[in-house]
Structure 1
Amino acid sequence: MDTTLLLLAGALVLALLLQFPRRNRPDGVSLKLAEIERRQRLIMDHLGIVDRGPALPGVRDHLARGDKIKAIKAYREATGVDLRTAKEAVEAIAEGR
């Protein structure tokens, strides 16, 4: 009886956990937005357009001093993007893209 009760409780917990959406699975809107951004980058690269981006307070100053970590932190605070996006953007700024 106790084993059956434990198995039923475990199955119930598992069923409840499966009801919650997974956060690491991008939804359709995120995928579409990523594709639009990719295509925009391709067009800009093809046309030779360099986007200097918005004036980001402190980012260029930190890069000038060689402090990439503080530049990434300043970029995240100014834009609200995730760490990976901020790192890629700061690296692009540092390379002059």
Structure 2
Amino acid sequence: MDPTLTAVLVGVAVLVLLLAVAGRGGSTKQLERRLDRLERKLDVLMQHLDVPQPGLAGPDLAVDQDVVALARAGRKIEAIKRYRELTGVGLKEAKDAVERIH
């Protein structure tokens, strides 16, 4: 199966799961924790399938290695700043993304 199609299908499955969980009720914190876990799993699947992350395709993908290197070197603030420059995401999203780097 095409890796991009697989990633899209996984994304749709995550969305359906989130809607099901939201329909059940529950605290916002609980939903945020579940969403964080699902995002980490989706990131692992996308990496395994060699699917570029949105906002990091093309030439930016090579620069993403800078973010990884900064994060792994313990330079978290610089990594977050660089990630935001590349993707245009907010501070929390960038912080979460950098924290998911192992």
Q: TM-score, normalising length from structure 1?
A: 0.45
Structure with the largest fraction of helix: 2
If you compute each CA radius of gyration, which structure gives the higher value, 1 or 2?
1
- Tell me the TM-score normalised to structure 2 length: 0.43
